[in-house]
Amino acid sequence: MSARIVVADDEADIRRLIVFILKRRGYTVLEANAGDVALELVRRERPDLVALDVMMPGLTGLEVAQALNDDPSTADIPIIILSAKGQGTEVEAGIKAGACTYLVKPFAPQELADRVAEILATRGG
């Protein structure tokens, strides 16, 4: 059974690219176009990993990460933050909210795929 990943980004073109990259690696990918949609999807589906954009309608990626991290039933799900905001304070905020890693857009597709594989391998997924 392939690992399941929730990808949340309000920019459809970026979301499609991320989904394409991950599906090529054999993952099952579920999509959300807003933070509140992503939070509901993660709580319902319990994926193996979540990739969140920071700036989204509904809830920001940081708010979603914090909510998932604060909930004992989802706190163990690894989170990758994907954002155009790459200043030190922004990266620190992402990690503080519960992300295990933070990739700055634009990122290399191979870098995302490798990072996902490393995280899933670390947790046995």
Closest listed residue to residue 39, CA positions, set 16, 21, 62: 62
- Is cis: bond before 106, omega within 30 of 0? yes
Question: Which residues are within 8 A (CB) of 10 and not within 5 positions of it... i.e. 6 or more apart?
Answer: 33, 34, 53, 55, 56, 57
* Mean pLDDT value of segment 50-74: 96
Rounded CA separation 104/54 (Å): 10
For the chain, the average pLDDT equals 94
Tokens coding 29: 């990918």
* Mean pLDDT value of segment 97-108: 92
Domains along the chain? 4-122 (3.40.50.2300)
* Mean pLDDT value of segment 1-10: 93
> 116 in helix, strand or coil?
helix
Rounded CA separation 22/29 (Å): 7
In tens, the pLDDT along 27-36 reads 999 999 999 9
Q: Does residue 88 have a pLDDT over 60? A: yes
